[in-house]
Structure 1
Amino acid sequence: MLPVVLRTARLELSAPTASDAQAIHDACQDPAIGHFTTVPSPYLRRYADEFVAQTAEHWDDLSHATWAIRRDGALSGMIGLHHLQETGSAELGFWVAAPERGRGIVREASEAVIDWGFATDALELVRLEWRAAVGNTASARAAKALGFRFEGTLRQALRNGHGERSDGWIASLLATDDRTPQEWPIAL
């Protein structure tokens, strides 16, 4: 499948390109990205080049759909639907560069990606999952605001960019769910 470009009021979501590699590398020097995601840490420049090449392959076989989040033409972060399967489900994942945090970028980009994932003329997914390491409250607040329903804590289920295992929160959103912000049984 050819990469899809999504636009919102402030953002353009498009496949990352070779010209993004330096900005990806620079953003991934942030310790929080390596701690809370699977992005390797330390993050070498060659990883950014490999990531860009892999995202193109993933679009080709539609195993993952990954977008660079761009605000005013500059890279703000990454977002994607991962583990696309015949089962009609995927996992929503994202990171935002430190200077761009707190601006509502994750929510705005996620809404566009979710709409596309559930659309009958796109992937027509039935279920989306969100997972985050216990303690990643910024990601959890975004998922809550997007309408994801908290399903529980998975013991030692996640591995971060350092290879460390941690407990993980999991939540889901069905195509038939309303997307109003949800109350979760965990303190955020």
Structure 2
Amino acid sequence: MYEHTLTDGTVWLTRPTGADIDRITECCQDPEVGRWTTIPVPYSRSDAEQFLDLVVAPGWAGNAPVWAIRTAENGQVEGMIGLHTRGPGVCEIGFWLTADHRGHGLMSRAIALVCDFAFAPDGLALARITWRAMVGNHPSAATVRRNGFQYEGTARLGGIQRGARVDEWHAARLSTDPPGPADTWPVDIAPG
């Protein structure tokens, strides 16, 4: 797959490169990123190098792109968002964002761009994008809810976080689902 930069003029999504290694390493020191993702903790420069080599490069080669989130065309990394293949026509979305940019709608914009590209016939032409997060990650749930992901339930001990089984929330958006807020979410998980 050839590289696709996605932008709405406020957020730019570009393929992360070797020039971003130090910034990725810095961002992944944030305890909240480590708390809600499966990144190694502690996170080192070699972890960022492996991320580029073992996740980003094969992802772009296999129609499962990973983008750096930037607030300017040539700006520094402020987060990551990516798709991971989960079968024919299905990918799972995953993301994280630096503390300075949380709560300002940047991730919602990034998710909208990724979904538009992923569902487009001239993009990835996906039928379904799934999402999962550890129970308790309310900001992530609220963000995907705002982007049309329908709540599908809780998988008891459905995930693994650093060797321990954890409960997970699951949601998905189909190519036929509207992009606006979904109304299928329990209020205690992602209030409307």
With normalisation by structure 1, the TM-score equals 0.93
* Shift, 1:158, TM fit: 1.6
Residue of structure 2 in register with 1:77 after alignment: 79
Q: Report SS of the residue matched to 1:167.
A: strand
User: What do residues 40-70 of structure 1 show as CA deviations (whole Å, max 9, x unaligned)?
Assistant: 11111100111122312221133x2100001
Percent of residue pairs identical: 41
Distance in 2, matches of 1:131 and 1:28, equals: 20
Distance in 2, matches of 1:35 and 1:158, equals: 14
Residue of structure 2 in register with 1:145 after alignment: 146
Question: Which runs of no fewer than 5 residues in structure 1 stay unpaired?
Answer: none
Residue of structure 2 in register with 1:60 after alignment: 61
Quick check: 2:59–2:84 contact (8 Å CA) kept in 1?
Answer: no
Distance in 1, matches of 2:177 and 2:62, equals: 28
Q: 1:45–1:97: structure 2 CA closer, same or farther, 3 Å change rule?
A: same
Question: Which runs of no fewer than 5 residues in structure 2 stay unpaired?
Answer: none
Residue of structure 2 in register with 1:39 after alignment: 39
Q: Report SS of the residue matched to 2:83.
A: strand
| Count of residues in Structure 1 that have an aligned counterpart in Structure 2 | 185
Following TM superposition, where does structure 1 have runs of at least 4 consecutive aligned residues deviating by more than 4 angstroms? none
Distance in 1, matches of 2:62 and 2:182, equals: 34
Using CA pairs below 8 Å that are at least 6 residues apart, which structure has the higher relative contact order? 1
Q: CA RMSD in A?
A: 1.3
With normalisation by structure 2, the TM-score equals 0.92
Q: Report SS of the residue matched to 1:99.
A: helix
Mapping for residues 99-178 of structure 1, pairs under 5 Å? 99-160=100-161, 162-178=162-178
